[in-house]
Amino acid sequence: MNSIIMLPGFEEVNITKMEEVDERLCLHIELPLKSHKCPECATSTMKVHDYRIQKIKHLKVFERHTLLFYRKRRYACSCGKRFAEKNSFVERYQRLSVEFNQALKIRSIKGKTFKETAEVYGTSASTVVRRFDQLAEVTVNEEAKELPKVIAIDEYKGDTKEGKYQLLIANGITREPIDILPNRYKNTIKHYLRRNGSQVEVVVMDMSQSFKVAVQQALDKPVIVADCFHFVRYIYWALDGVRRRIQSSWHDYDRKKCKKMRHVFYKRSDKLNESDQWYLQRYLEMSHELKQAYELKERFCQWFDKAKVNGEEINKT
């Protein structure tokens, strides 16, 4: 008996059965019988040759991973040609629906890792990587696009066939993604910026030397701005380096306790509770150099907060 449930993109599909198996929703579907033109002789026919069941992975329905069992019809023409009926929800030789593939490609860019994306969609990480490769290839081969005056570049860990990392090009003001490069190699970046970056004046990026060289060689004296995330990370790494070096000369108890309580050095001073403040003061009093490093970190945080406010005000004008 046909179900009256309607799914987006499946308006013409008859759902003949719906069941839940191992926490997965299984939908048995078929298309209505209708006349098809033979791809060989263009003669119309409604004669059915046979049926086969095709298993297709689809997007979640009712928050459950969904499988489609498509009863695929093959038609027979009087000229002897056998051909499958046309449908809009799965491409030839595919086991993933069109909508599933589209969603997976988008998520492969925005997700934190390919493994996480695979877990969300109930598929394998290698499948996510292949979809990312397809999207990157199409994006790279698109007609050249002119980049805005301010751009930001950042790498993504992907482990694709083009390399372990891909490069995201974004608008430096709106932060909207513009393009994806298949790898982070210097020549790839140079070629892309020379082709599309005639209007670029400012580039926001991490402190990678290879990125810097590629940008400087491709563009006409751009202003290079260190990405705040990477810059802040270097400040905290420097403080941690001082802490580890200083505590190595302390008594075992203080050395181990300082390592265990190292978070007190990284928190903002106004975020520390009474116990954290006590430990912080104890260790800062044990080393003048460590105290200087911590005070520099705090001054940097104050400057950084003011810089963010100033930047937001400038963007509003």
The pLDDT of residue 1: 47
The tens digit of pLDDT for each residue in 274-299 reads 999 999 999 999 999 999 999 999 99
For the chain, give the number of residues: 317
The pLDDT of residue 128: 86
3-state secondary structure 76-126: ECCCCCEEECCCCCCCCCCCECHHHHHHHHHHHHHCCCHHHHHHHHCCCHH
Whether the pLDDT of residue 160 is over 70: the answer is no
* CA atoms of 126 and 106, how far apart (whole Å): 15
The tens digit of pLDDT for each residue in 197-244 reads 888 999 988 878 888 898 999 998 889 888 777 778 888 899 999 999
Whether the pLDDT of residue 9 is over 50: the answer is yes
The pLDDT of residue 118: 86
Whether the pLDDT of residue 36 is over 90: the answer is yes
- Bridge-based pairing of strands 44-45 and 36-37 is antiparallel
What average pLDDT does the structure give for the chain?
A: 85
CA torsion, ordered 164, 168, 169, 175, to nearest 10 deg:
-160
The pLDDT of residue 4: 47
* CA atoms of 17 and 26, how far apart (whole Å): 8
Residue carrying structure tokens 């969904």: 66
Residue carrying structure tokens 């070629």: 191
Residue carrying structure tokens 């926490």: 23
Mean pLDDT for 111-137 is: 82
Taking the CB of residue 217, how many other CB atoms lie within 10 A of it? 13
Task: Select from 106, 111, 68 the least CA-distant residue to 88.
Answer: 68
Q: What structural domains does the chain harbor? A: 14-94 (no CATH), 96-142 (1.10.10), 145-226 (3.30.420.10), 230-316 (no CATH)
The pLDDT of residue 208: 80
For residue 265, what are its two tokens? Answer: 């050095």
* CA atoms of 245 and 289, how far apart (whole Å): 10
Would you say the C-alpha torsion 98, 2, 44, 74 has a positive or negative sign? Answer: positive
Contact 196, 146 (CB under 8 A): yes
Percentage of the residues of the chain whose pLDDT score is greater than 70: 89
